[in-house]
Structure 1
Amino acid sequence: MSKFSIILFSGTDDKLIPVGVLAQGAAALGMDVQVFVTGWALMKFTKKGSNVVFPKEFEQMAPVLMEGMKKANAPTWVDMLKEAKSMGAKVYACSLMASVMGLKKEDFNDLVDDVVGVATFLQNAEGGQTIFI
């Protein structure tokens, strides 16, 4: 089985949406999918969550994008990741960044399968395709 790994650093919705699309698509193709959540993206995966955020340069386009997604009846990035997980995809929080941010495994929502270090992620990703978002 081919492997597809995503390193997710950005917590802005313009980055989270493609992560959902790619993870769901790769899982549907039967690929072994893992998402390694690090940096500011970690906050989107906590039980507290965080608000919808777009980078400053896309601020004016955010309402257009969100309305377009709604009109297209497109699922949210959360729903796409849930669907990917139902097909076997795994979502991991970066242990170093979680520690730096004072987060423990119990602080994360049910999208997160585990909190792992970069060595574990790299071992799991070995021999596959990896992208950084």
Structure 2
Amino acid sequence: MKVGIILGSNELDRVAYAGMHALISATLDNEVVLFATMDGVKAFLKNPDLRVESGTSKTIRESNEDVFQHFRKAKKSGKLKILACSYASKIHGLDKDDYGDLVDDIVGITSFSMEVEGGQIISIW
């Protein structure tokens, strides 16, 4: 099965949840495509810009947990592709060189939709 994850936030707890969901889905042998859009693209910069406003985000930060470990494990399995939204990249003035090595490509929502056609899609805002 294909699993699409739309991440529209750079809030630490939401990024952590997206990573856990991606890893679990990949572990269950699903093809996973994460589409980072709007503020979600900021989480995948070379120097990630993660907001810490919620109580859960503060707890995660205090624990010093590496929230990107889940993405790296899922990528290592070959089952996860991370795409940055071309529109969000444009409005934030970002190009491929601004993103870290987890990002595979910058594409539009149409390309993401075609990647996960017929699959399950979850949105994390």
Which TM-score applies when normalising by structure 2? 0.89
Q: Distance in 2 between matches of 1:114 and 1:99?
A: 14
Structure 1 gap ranges (5+): none
Q: CA deviation at 1:65?
A: 4.2
1:88-112 CA-to-partner distances (Å, cap 9, x unmatched) read 2000000111011111111100010
Q: Distance in 2 between matches of 1:11 and 1:62?
A: 11
* Superposition map of 1:1-133 within 5 A: 2-50=1-49, 52-55=50-53, 58-59=54-55, 61-67=56-62, 76-88=66-78, 89-133=80-124
Q: Distance in 2 between matches of 1:82 and 1:33?
A: 13
Q: CA deviation at 1:62?
A: 4.1
Q: Distance in 2 between matches of 1:62 and 1:132?
A: 18
Q: Distance in 1 between matches of 2:57 and 2:99?
A: 26
What percentage of residue pairs aligned between the two structures are identical? 33
Which TM-score applies when normalising by structure 1? 0.84
What is the Cα-based RMSD across aligned positions, in Å? 1.7
Q: Distance in 2 between matches of 1:111 and 1:49?
A: 11
- Kindly indicate whether the alpha-carbon contact (under 8 Å) linking 1:19 and 1:77 is maintained by their aligned counterparts in 2: no
Q: Distance in 2 between matches of 1:62 and 1:49?
A: 15
What secondary structure does 2:5 align onto?
strand
Distance 1:66 1:125, change over 3 A: same
- Kindly indicate whether the alpha-carbon contact (under 8 Å) linking 2:86 and 2:106 is maintained by their aligned counterparts in 1: yes
- Kindly indicate whether the alpha-carbon contact (under 8 Å) linking 2:7 and 2:40 is maintained by their aligned counterparts in 1: yes
- Kindly indicate whether the alpha-carbon contact (under 8 Å) linking 2:15 and 2:43 is maintained by their aligned counterparts in 1: no
What secondary structure does 2:13 align onto?
helix
What secondary structure does 1:112 align onto?
coil
Structure number with bigger Rg:
1
Give the paired residue count.
123
Q: Which runs of 4+ in 1 moved over 6 A?
A: none
